[in-house]
Structure 1
């Protein structure tokens, strides 16, 4: 790339970075709009599955990229080592793009390529999550490992605050700069607001207990165990379904017993709660969905569309796209 073009690129990138960090809420609204487009493209154009996944993955990756820019300026998140941070970033990128990679592999190489990509992705994710648990002492690995920032908690006047003061690294208290005070009769002695609040603490501050490590290990190994069982018994057999359910219930039961004895951080509690709610997805997974829940779900949606005003506007798209969503997203290895 010529030097002039590279300098132009850096100029535009700097302008984009300043715009993102100065308008976090507006950027968040735009990201949400782009993400919702992926839901409405399914079934409406040729290769809609690939297109909707491309839009969805790119929108999530854009959120991650913008969050990195905002965090670099506000330092909202807890500082991590470089290697620790890179592992979390790569896992988050895979969480956002794994379905796109599976669909792309199917288009290019058929079912063989699809399952090869699935095994490679899940093996890599399992290995990296085990590194987070055993090397970096994370007690509960989040999904995704780097959740989106809560933009509403970010002050809109970051630039003006930075001009007046600076944030201490340990306490994060904002100290007013000497030259920012101006004349004495114009000064305000009120403390400056913080540049950002630590949105989540990394669980390395608390030493993991052996039972919690075992519980998290079972949860991390679940995708590979499910895939291994499915390769032996078949995709629509009950054994993989039951093995995954048993591993989830066992892991959650071990966590519930441990959380009564040890303190749990907010992000750990939220992740465990998310896993508990995710148990409901088992009714949408084969073979349970094919044999039991599909007929009941369709009957319920049709009943709502006939008896509730305006319900048809919601139920008809769900009835139309539910087979696509069920076959694409409700895998045992996706949660």
Structure 2
């Protein structure tokens, strides 16, 4: 069971809370959404607002993950997968939710050297775990984050919601996913595409150490890897069917290509002036948009310098 990774004595202590979130999924969702909004209202309003915003963002996501695991333990009683695989996915999800906070904290404590050291450590950790999911547990596509937020309403109405690919039904022992009609060549190509995608952060860091932080070679290398891995996947769509979760992840990666406009050096040379011009024009011409555009303009430098590093997968 998913929460076998949590000590039973701890579960006894939080049992009243677990019962409450299971009985009130809609209210819980509303509270979580409200907490999610808090980081956006702290930007620029007091000292260390960047750190506070990241702390609130990480905490809110970790709370959602914790609540999901508790609800999953109760509702998805007929689903399970390898306990070690579960631990890998939980750790990867936790790291994805907190890596920006870790980076900011390292920079505040140890300067640029500490920041880059933690970046390398975090990306090595993520890469190794993702490669284990691909090559040991045979995941064709590694999702981001690996443990997706649950559909609370659907989970409340059904005890058999599928949390993701690779779950195993207790009774039948069969794998509940859509990875049908596999062939050795197809699997080899998909593994190549996903391995390249997972290794991209390390390639980018290596190129950055040689060319510089805000130079074109790392930007171009990262973009080329993304395009090449997506092309391999697109070439296989005629020969295989992908699950809904895989299709969703492919769509996320295609949309993520647009974020290259917000990554240096493209952002510094081309995007920044145009984005601020559009926000200013909206603020001056469309009523009430100032309440939205001004916080975006104030927070955009933080977003750009914190979230749009090219090594993130």
Alignment correspondent of 2:135: 134
Matched position secondary structure for 2:120 = helix
Aligned to 2:98: 97
CA RMSD in angstroms comes to 1.8
1:201 aligns with 2:165: yes
Q: Secondary structure at the match of 2:14?
A: helix
235, 241, 251: which one aligns with 1:273:
251
- CA distance in 1 between counterparts of 2:60 and 2:305 reads 22
Structure 1 unmatched runs, 5+: 1-7, 157-193
C-alpha distance in 1, partners of 2:207/2:37? 35
1:256 aligns with 2:234: yes
Q: Distance in 1 between matches of 2:89 and 2:13?
A: 28
Matched with 1:108 is: 109
Q: Residue by residue, what CA displacement relative to the aligned partner does 1:269-317 show, whole Å, maximum 9, x if unpaired?
A: 0001000000000000000000001111111111111221212121111
1:323 correspondence with 2:301:
yes
Kept in 1, the 8 Å contact 2:68–2:149? The answer is: yes
The alpha carbon displacement at 1:153 in A equals 1.0
- CA distance in 2 between counterparts of 1:10 and 1:209 reads 40
Q: How does 1:163-178 map to 2 (within 5 A)?
A: none
2:171 corresponds in structure 1 to: none
Q: Structure 2 residue aligned with 1:237, among 188, 191, 215?
A: 215
1:53 aligns with 54
Q: 2:263 is matched with which residue?
A: 285
Contact persistence 1:218–1:247 (CA under 8 A): yes
- Distance in structure 1 (CA, Å) of the matches to 2:237 and 2:86: 26
Q: CA deviation at 1:328?
A: 1.2
How many Å apart are 1:53 and its aligned residue? Answer: 0.6
Contact kept? 1:42, 1:48, Cα under 8 Å: yes
Give me the whole-angstrom Cα distance separating, in 2, the residues matched to 1:129 and 1:102: 20
Give how far 1:150 is off: 1.0
TM-score under structure 1 normalisation?
0.83
CA apart distance, 1:202: 2.6
User: What is the rounded CA distance, in whole Å, between the counterparts of 1:267 and 1:77 in structure 2?
Assistant: 20
Counterparts of residues 297-312 of structure 1 (less than 5 Å):
297-312=275-290
Mapped to 1, the partners of 2:105 and 2:42 lie a distance apart of 17
Change (3 A) 1:275 1:67: same
The two structures have a TM-score, normalised by structure 2, of 0.89
Tell me the residue number matched to 1:143: 144
Give the 3-state SS of the residue equivalent to 1:118 in structure 2: helix
Shift of the alpha carbon at 1:222?
0.4
CA distance in 2, matches of 1:302, 1:77: 54
Aligned to 2:22: 21
CA distance in 2 between counterparts of 1:326 and 1:268 reads 28
Question: Is the CA contact 2:79–2:160 (under 8 Å) kept in the aligned structure 1?
Answer: no
Shift of 1:318: 1.0
CA–CA distance in 1 between the matches of 2:39 and 2:95?
A: 18
Query: Given that residues 43 and 295 in structure 2 are in contact (C-alpha distance below 8 angstroms), is that contact kept between their aligned partners in structure 1?
Result: no
Pairing 1:210–2:188 present: yes
Structure 1's 9 and 322: CA in aligned 2 closer, same or farther, altered over 3 A?
same
CA deviations on 1:27-49 (whole Å, 9 max, x unpaired) are 11111111110111121121111
**Is there any run of 5+ residues in structure 2 with no aligned partner, and where?**
1-8, 168-174
Which one has the largest radius of gyration?
A: 1
Work out whether residues 126 and 221 of structure 1, in 8 Å CA contact, stay in contact via their aligned partners in 2.
yes
